[in-house]
Amino acid sequence: MSSTLEIQAPMQGTIVEVQVKVGDLVRLGQPLLIMESMKLEHVVEAEINGVVRLLSVSPGETVKEGQVLVRIEEAEVSAAAEQEVAEVDLDRIRPDLAAVIERHAIGLDAARPDMVERRRKVHRRTTRENIADLVDDGTFVEYGPLVIAPQRRRHSVEYLIRRTPADGLVGGIGEVNGHLFEGHKKQVVAMSYDYTVLAGTQGGQNHRKKDRLFELAEKWKLPVVLFTEGGGGRPGDTDGMGGSGLDCLAFYLFARLSGAVPIVAINSGYCFAGNAALLGCADVVIAAKDSNIGMGGPAMIEGGGLGVYEPKEIGPMSVQVPNGVVDIEVEDEIEAVAVAKKYLSYFQGAVSEWDCADQRLLRSVIPENRLRMYDVRTVIDLMFDTDSVLELRPRFGVGMITAFARIEGRPVGVVANNPAHLAGAIDSDNADKAARFIQLCDAFDIPIITLIDTPGMMVGPEVEKTALVRHCSRLFVTAANATVPMVSIVLRKCYGLGSQGMAAATLKAPVITVAWPTGEFGGMGLEGFVRLGYRKEIEEATAEDPEKGEALYRQLVDKMYDHGKALNTATWFEIDDVIDPAESRKVISRALAATPPPPAREHKKHPYIDTW
């Protein structure tokens, strides 16, 4: 015996449309009627296969919740009929979806060939090409692609849609280096000014877009990569965004990210005013050789009555690289993105695959002649994992090397004296460079390896004009308060306050302090120590016979050198050991393995990272 089913009103409402009649064969899921409640239409569907035996309502009738609308007697329905109800055209694009797809397409490069051609003429990529190169395929989720410039009082909406897509800033969240790492550490906020839209200026809506993404970066601890090409503030917005605009939040929110997440700025072309201010907040600045970076562009300079200049005269790389504004100069945007990926990898964790040079090569890097110069970069390249070294600021503070690298896949920071410049003596720029890098490593719990070869702090009346006392003391204060593990290796000279600064203010501060056989130690440079400590004796011998005075001087220096040799210093336990240079990697990796992993942090370790 067949059963029947009563279909009741799911809520109080009005019948709008009846789509069946008594005697109709209906299928499970088939619409029976449409009712309206609170201005929203609801479809009432068949709940079984069968025949309509009762239809108790008609269009326009008001019904109450639970009222019987339709009675269906169960009956068999052919498989073809059931399939007809179930089939949905998955490829059908409804008009509303078509409008959305069309609107998104307007802002893509394919719809803007004239703008793409303009980029090609200056040998640069488009904004979207740069972001696509940075993030892993298929991972980018864009925020605000439909935004337009707030200039409705000046232009039609259609014009703004076509000419100001995304209000000149493309931004969102994507993955970087997903092939190397698993988990959330590969997620980053990627954003870029679009120079083809109003010269990459900072508009009212793209400021709000930055605000949104900066807040997400802070909340979810996401690194930020910002392409900064553009001309700064935009004076042409008209849609009631404010008066002076000085209350915009973007600079505040971006500056607050310092120390919370890694921040990378990438530039190619012109970067002035507000764009430069954001660039200067970054932990690392990567710039193509065709970049011009300045706090004020030509218009601001001329407006201030300071003369008329072409954009290329302002902040070229010949200025901004040696002065330390730019950390890494690259050939073009392609190399810039590759370097940014490498930089981010140090903050994403260890890699499982690595290789290194034959460590026996380290035994011969430093000449047996203790007065002969050598290239400390060769030491670094050999000691750390192959192709893992990324040096920052190579043309600023050239007496100090700062670089990220890896030991057995683990990220580390490297600080090394450069004996090719002033024999490795530490001047103000060198001290600043090292201190700021140590602060950066410490903020993100990256261990530090220092390679020491310095005659001490630089001395003399001229260097004191650079506020050397304060700058060198900055190195002491910063390093002594860092909490990440430090390993110090004395390559050759380890003299005076400079060597102490390289070891966080004392040779006992690092997890381990060792020396190579070429190491030599002293409270100051041996030659200076002899000339000061034995001045009377040398002067007397020289007065008697200049050759005799020089011989005495050399004899005393050789004696002091024997006393300060690493092997002798180790007998006083001022250092932990003298090692075979080929064992350096082993010493570093074992020392770091002895330290506990950094604690999970909800808040910043440091309030911020110095911009300088």
- Residues 531-580 have pLDDT tens digits of 666 777 877 788 888 887 888 777 777 777 777 899 999 999 999 999 99
**Could you tell me whether strands 520-522 and 486-495 are parallel, antiparallel, or unpaired per DSSP bridges?**
parallel
Instruction: Read off φ and ψ for residue 303, nearest 5 degrees.
Output: -65, -25
Q: Tokens 């600079």 sit at which residue?
A: 251
Q: CB–CB of 556/548 below 8 Å?
A: no
Q: In this predicted structure, what is the pLDDT of residue 358? A: 98
CA distance 262 to 360: 36
* Cα angle value 432/436/438 (rounded, 5°): 120
- Residues 54-93 have pLDDT tens digits of 999 999 999 999 999 999 999 887 765 555 555 678 899 9
Q: In this predicted structure, what is the pLDDT of residue 561? A: 74
Q: Which pTM was predicted? A: 0.88
Residues β-bridged to residue 402: 392, 415
Positions of E strands within 410-523:
410-417, 448-454, 486-495, 512-515, 520-522
Q: Helix 127-134 to helix 333-345 angle, to the nearest 10 degrees?
A: 30
Q: In this predicted structure, what is the pLDDT of residue 241? A: 61
Q: In this predicted structure, what is the pLDDT of residue 351? A: 95
The residues, ordered by sequence, that sit 6+ positions from 88 with a Cβ below 8 Å of its Cβ are none
**Residue 404 φ/ψ region, left for φ over 0, alpha for ψ in the -120 to 50 degree band, beta for the rest:** beta
Q: Tokens 């929203």 sit at which residue?
A: 40
Q: CB–CB of 250/162 below 8 Å?
A: no
Q: How many CB atoms lie within 10 A of CB 403?
A: 22
Instruction: Read off φ and ψ for residue 212, nearest 5 degrees.
Output: -60, -45
Is residue 295 packed enough to be buried (19+ CB in 10 Å), middle (13-18) or exposed (0-12)? middle
Q: In this predicted structure, what is the pLDDT of residue 243? A: 63
Tokens linked to 531? 């000339």
User: Which of 449, 443, 442, 439 lies closest to 484 in space, CA to CA?
Assistant: 442
Q: CB–CB of 33/9 below 8 Å?
A: no
Q: CB–CB of 367/376 below 8 Å?
A: no
Which stretches in the chain have pLDDT values below 70? 1, 79-87, 240-244, 524-526, 528-533
Q: In this predicted structure, what is the pLDDT of residue 44? A: 95
